[in-house]
């Protein structure tokens, strides 16, 4: 039987495009790299674009192929690289697609730029706009399609199932013409479609069956080289399409024993009929007795992994919860905090306040006096304090003040905000003294803390990594500390700002690094101040500007133990035993513990209760959860444990017995 690469070559030689479909662990990326290397050998002058979902994936492909004819990049970078030169057309597209942007806004001296934020009237577009504008330009300007076709011979899309419909339409409607001598290849697995904007399963079937000028031919990759037999059997049960996997025939594959037989592996479903077992009960049980969550491979990647659904759960277990709550639960300047409440209120009143010149306290006093000239903000807060003993909730105390001063509740904090303000009174006093306009510019969100995985491609990393300037700087500090502790001195010298000019400078740097490392047992404040003042890593203009305009956030972060920053760094860099189930797609580990429950998570469209109880009243939740579970369960090379925390219904247990060889009630055994 011809190899997948041979089948793909034959398909392209016949004038058609292809889709390589393969289940988890089948080696799709390996086939992609083999194909690129074959093309390089047979057509050394050909130009290949490889579009990936992340910078990390693009870097990996670039490193493994090492070819000047290949340009691997993210989807957004690929599109931007092919439209950024047409500035006049970009301006026309922005104006056409956005009613609130005019020709006057985008004057001739404005250059359209792609950044991690958007400000359309200033000519700055972000991720969503790149795709929207690219689709518009390729549709409206056939010449752009021809230019791209002349530049490239092949476009390969890795993880196609996560690619947006708009991008697929650009490829298969605008570029899929007989007049454009270009071959397009898709690599992926519809069962691993876990993002809202991905094309998924149904749309790709429509592509295969569509009457295009060039056909899309499907090539299947059915051999699994990662998972032991028990996990392959589970994966085949979970799949809802016709693709069923068999074990690899290659004796070099991770799932094959030295004698050529397939590894059996173990899959276990654990639950508590009393709902009283926690993660620690699992990791210290006999089921994980052979697992060491502190074992790492040569690249520093954990051999065993615990997979959760939410980052906030990981923050508690991985011990960076204080930092996480600063960025996600701040009730003063956070997304749902008091500053937003005041901003929203100002939109409802007819009076115009000069908010640019007021501190927060000055503004609040003026707003309060509109309801009662004898009150100011602090007196209003004192009224709530006086009412507190008379009621069982803070909100009821606030409602009592409202009855005394009707309308004032629109300016007062809610009960949750009030509690946060009282618990952090010194921080709130700082906020009261700050210019209101500065407070409105503070944006806190988990992406500003966690961001995206690190990329060696500094240009794309700067644009796509959403961490704020302070966290990025602290991550650079921790990277330097890690390099020093690992004795990777050559790389360290390239990263630090301290320059070695004479021999004794090495001794000085060593002393400075020793001092920096000693501060890691203290608060972030001391590490931050010393890293910059010692000259090890100086603030650039972005960091300086951010720190200057974010006193409130800086004060909060400075109070946190630096150990939390280390834990956060290890987590985001993949050096922790914890990950989200979304975050491990494409990765593999020796052992995996998947933690699930019956929570309905709206922002992710995930609910395991839907999956295990067969609830299909919301098909989106069912399919998304099925795909995510498939991804999580197919990561191990040895053993898999699924732990259902909390209450577990009889329907769930019945379904678990269909899928798992071992289903165990932790309350019924002697561990």
Q: Assign residue 163 the CATH number of its domain.
A: 3.40.50.300
pLDDT tens across 46-62, in order? 999 999 988 888 888 99
pLDDT tens across 287-303, in order? 998 898 888 887 778 89
Domain contains 76? yes
Per the rule left: phi > 0, alpha: psi between -120 and 50, beta: everything else, 604 is: alpha
Q: Are strands 304-308 and 589-596 parallel, antiparallel or unpaired?
A: parallel
pLDDT score recorded for residue 212: 61
Residue 444 backbone dihedrals phi, psi, to 5 degrees: -110, 130
β partners of residue 217: 18
- Do 631 and 534 share a structural domain? no
pLDDT score recorded for residue 430: 93
Check which CATH number belongs to the domain holding 610 and give it.
Answer: 3.40.50
Q: What percent of the chain has pLDDT over 90?
A: 74
Domain contains 355? yes
**Per-chain mean pLDDT for the chain:** 91
Classify residue 487 by burial, with Cβ atoms within 10 Å: 0-12, 13-18, 19+.
Answer: exposed
Does residue 604 register a pLDDT over 90? Answer: no
- Do 569 and 511 share a structural domain? yes
Does residue 458 register a pLDDT over 60? Answer: no
Euclidean distance between CA atoms 164 and 146, whole angstroms? 22
pLDDT tens across 506-532, in order? 999 999 999 999 999 999 999 999 999
- Do 259 and 294 share a structural domain? yes
- Residue 646 · residue 597 · CB < 8 Å: yes
Euclidean distance between CA atoms 615 and 632, whole angstroms? 20
The set of residues, in sequence order, having a beta carbon less than 8 Å from that of 155 and lying 6+ positions away, is 48, 49, 50, 51, 171, 175, 182, 183, 184, 185
Domain contains 104? no
Domain contains 433? yes
Question: What residue numbers bound the domain in which 431 lies?
Answer: 338-441
The set of residues, in sequence order, having a beta carbon less than 8 Å from that of 663 and lying 6+ positions away, is 268, 269, 271, 653, 656, 657
Top-confidence residue, 520 or 198: 520
- Do 656 and 598 share a structural domain? yes
Which DSSP symbol is given to 216? E
Q: Which of 581, 596, 633, 612 is nearest to 230 (CA)?
A: 633
Give the Å distances, CA to CA, from 145 to 150, 171, 180. 9, 10, 8
Into how many domains does the chain fold?
Answer: 4
DSSP-H helix ranges across 190-289 = 200-209, 229-238, 279-283
- Residue 427 · residue 556 · CB < 8 Å: yes
Q: Is 119 helix (H, G, I), strand (E, B) or coil?
A: strand
Domain contains 477? yes
- Do 210 and 64 share a structural domain? yes
- Residue 652 · residue 644 · CB < 8 Å: yes
Categorize the per-residue pLDDT at 454 as very low, low, confident or very high, splitting at 50, 70 and 90.
Answer: very low
Classify residue 422 by burial, with Cβ atoms within 10 Å: 0-12, 13-18, 19+.
Answer: middle
The set of residues, in sequence order, having a beta carbon less than 8 Å from that of 596 and lying 6+ positions away, is 309, 608, 629, 642, 643, 644, 645
pLDDT score recorded for residue 80: 97
- Do 181 and 74 share a structural domain? yes
- Do 287 and 235 share a structural domain? yes
What is the pTM for the complete model shown? Answer: 0.89
Does residue 463 register a pLDDT over 50? Answer: no
Does residue 207 register a pLDDT over 90? Answer: no
Q: Is 517 helix (H, G, I), strand (E, B) or coil?
A: helix
Domain contains 102? no
pLDDT score recorded for residue 202: 52
Domain boundary among 393, 409, 441: 441
3-state secondary structure 105-118: CCCCCCCCEECCCC
pLDDT score recorded for residue 205: 67
Q: Which of 221, 291, 353 is nearest to 640 (CA)?
A: 291
pLDDT score recorded for residue 130: 96
pLDDT score recorded for residue 118: 87
Euclidean distance between CA atoms 520 and 55, whole angstroms? 30
Categorize the per-residue pLDDT at 670 as very low, low, confident or very high, splitting at 50, 70 and 90.
Answer: low
- Do 351 and 305 share a structural domain? no
Instruction: Count the neighbouring beta carbons within 10 Å of the beta carbon of residue 122.
Output: 11
- Do 518 and 495 share a structural domain? yes
Q: Which helix (H) or strand (E) holds 72?
A: strand 70-74
Which DSSP symbol is given to 576? S
Top-confidence residue, 197 or 95: 95
Euclidean distance between CA atoms 9 and 18, whole angstroms? 9
- Residue 59 · residue 262 · CB < 8 Å: no
- Do 519 and 378 share a structural domain? no
Give the Å distances, CA to CA, from 310 to 171, 307, 588. 34, 9, 20
Q: Which of 320, 314, 313, 329 is nearest to 561 (CA)?
A: 320
pLDDT tens across 18-40, in order? 999 999 999 999 999 999 999 99
pLDDT score recorded for residue 86: 96
Domain contains 637? yes
Does residue 198 register a pLDDT over 80? Answer: no
**Residues composing the chain:** 671
Top-confidence residue, 73 or 296: 73
Categorize the per-residue pLDDT at 178 as very low, low, confident or very high, splitting at 50, 70 and 90.
Answer: confident
pLDDT score recorded for residue 619: 84
pLDDT tens across 549-564, in order? 899 999 999 999 999 9
Q: Which of 302, 327, 307 is nearest to 573 (CA)?
A: 302
pLDDT tens across 121-171, in order? 999 999 889 999 999 999 999 999 999 999 999 999 999 998 888 998 899
pLDDT tens across 219-273, in order? 999 999 999 999 999 999 999 888 999 999 888 999 999 999 999 999 999 999 9
Does residue 582 register a pLDDT over 60? Answer: yes
pLDDT score recorded for residue 457: 39
pLDDT score recorded for residue 54: 83
Domain boundary among 221, 243, 267: 221
Q: Is 625 helix (H, G, I), strand (E, B) or coil?
A: helix
- Do 588 and 554 share a structural domain? no
- Do 153 and 41 share a structural domain? yes
Top-confidence residue, 608 or 459: 608
Domain boundary among 524, 546, 573: 573
Domain contains 239? yes
DSSP-H helix ranges across 260-310 = 279-283
Does residue 455 register a pLDDT over 60? Answer: no
- Residue 371 · residue 345 · CB < 8 Å: no
Does residue 425 register a pLDDT over 70? Answer: yes
Euclidean distance between CA atoms 375 and 309, whole angstroms? 47
- Residue 122 · residue 109 · CB < 8 Å: no
**Overall average pLDDT of the 344-359 stretch:** 90
pLDDT score recorded for residue 460: 39
Q: Is 315 helix (H, G, I), strand (E, B) or coil?
A: helix
């Amino acid at each position: 039987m011809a190899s997948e690469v041979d089948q793909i070559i034959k398909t392209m030689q016949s004038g058609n495009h292809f889709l390589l479909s393969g289940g988890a662990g089948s080696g799709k990326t390996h086939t992609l790299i083999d194909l690129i290397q074959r093309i390089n050998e047979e057509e050394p002058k050909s130009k290949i674009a490889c579009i990936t979902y992340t910078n990390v994936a693009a870097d990996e492909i670039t490193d493994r192929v090492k070819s000047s004819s290949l340009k691997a990049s993210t989807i957004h970078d690929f599109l931007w690289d092919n439209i950024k030169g047409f500035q006049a057309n970009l301006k026309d597209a922005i104006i056409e697609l956005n009613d609130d942007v005019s020709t006057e806004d985008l004057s001739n001296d404005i250059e359209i730029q792609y950044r991690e934020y958007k400000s359309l009237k200033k000519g700055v577009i972000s991720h969503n706009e790149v795709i929207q504008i690219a689709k518009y330009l390729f549709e409206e300007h056939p010449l752009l399609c021809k230019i791209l076709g002349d530049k490239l011979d092949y476009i390969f899309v890795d993880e196609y199932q996560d690619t947006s419909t708009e991008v697929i339409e650009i490829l298969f409607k605008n570029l899929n013409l007989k007049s454009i001598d270009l071959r397009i290849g898709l690599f992926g697995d519809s069962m691993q479609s876990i993002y809202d904007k991905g094309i998924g399963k149904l749309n790709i079937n429509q592509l295969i069956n569509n009457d295009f000028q060039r056909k899309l031919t499907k090539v299947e990759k059915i051999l699994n080289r990662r998972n032991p037999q028990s996990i392959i059997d589970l994966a085949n049960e979970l799949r809802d399409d016709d693709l069923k996997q068999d074990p690899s025939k290659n004796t070099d594959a991770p799932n094959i024993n030295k004698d050529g037989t397939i590894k059996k592996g173990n899959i276990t479903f654990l639950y508590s009929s009393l709902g009283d077992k926690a993660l620690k009960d699992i990791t210290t049980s006999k089921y994980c007795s052979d697992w060491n969550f502190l074992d790492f491979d040569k690249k520093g990647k954990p051999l065993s992994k615990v997979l959760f659904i939410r980052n906030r759960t990981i923050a508690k277990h991985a011990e960076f919860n204080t930092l996480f709550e600063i960025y996600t639960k701040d009730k003063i300047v956070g997304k749902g905090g008091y500053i937003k409440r005041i901003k929203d209120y100002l939109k409802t009143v007819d009076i115009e306040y000069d908010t640019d010149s007021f501190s927060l306290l000055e503004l609040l006093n003026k707003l309060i006096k509109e309801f009662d000239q004898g009150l100011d903000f602090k007196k209003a807060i004192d009224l709530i304090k006086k009412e507190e003993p008379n009621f069982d909730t803070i909100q009821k105390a606030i409602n009592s003040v409202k009855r005394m001063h009707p309308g004032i509740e629109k300016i007062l904090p809610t009960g949750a905000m009030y509690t946060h303000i009282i618990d952090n009174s010194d921080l709130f006093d700082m906020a009261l003294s700050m210019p209101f306009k500065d407070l409105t510019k503070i944006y806190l969100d988990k992406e500003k803390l966690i961001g995206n995985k690190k990329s060696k491609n500094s240009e794309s990393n700067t644009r796509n990594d959403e961490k704020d300037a302070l966290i990025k700087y602290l991550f650079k500090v921790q990277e330097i500390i890690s390099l020093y502790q690992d004795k990777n001195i050559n790389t360290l010298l390239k990263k630090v700002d301290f320059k070695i000019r004479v021999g004794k400078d090495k001794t000085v740097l060593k002393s400075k690094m020793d001092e920096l490392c000693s501060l890691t047992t203290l608060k972030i404040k001391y590490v931050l101040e010393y890293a910059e003042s010692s000259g090890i890593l100086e603030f650039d203009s972005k960091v300086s500007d951010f720190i200057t305009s974010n006193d409130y956030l800086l004060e909060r972060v400075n109070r946190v133990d630096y150990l939390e920053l280390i834990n956060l760094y290890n987590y985001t860099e993949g050096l922790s035993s914890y990950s989200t189930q979304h975050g491990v797609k494409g990765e593999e580990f020796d052992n995996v513990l998947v933690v699930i429950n019956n929570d309905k998570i709206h922002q992710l469209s995930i609910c395991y209760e839907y999956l295990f109880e067969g609830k299909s009243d919301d098909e989106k939740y069912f399919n998304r959860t099925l795909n995510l579970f498939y991804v999580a369960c197919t990561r191990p090379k040895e053993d898999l444990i699924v732990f259902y925390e909390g209450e577990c219904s009889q329907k769930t247990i019945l379904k678990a017995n269909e899928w798992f060889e071992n289903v165990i009630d932790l309350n019924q055994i002697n561990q």
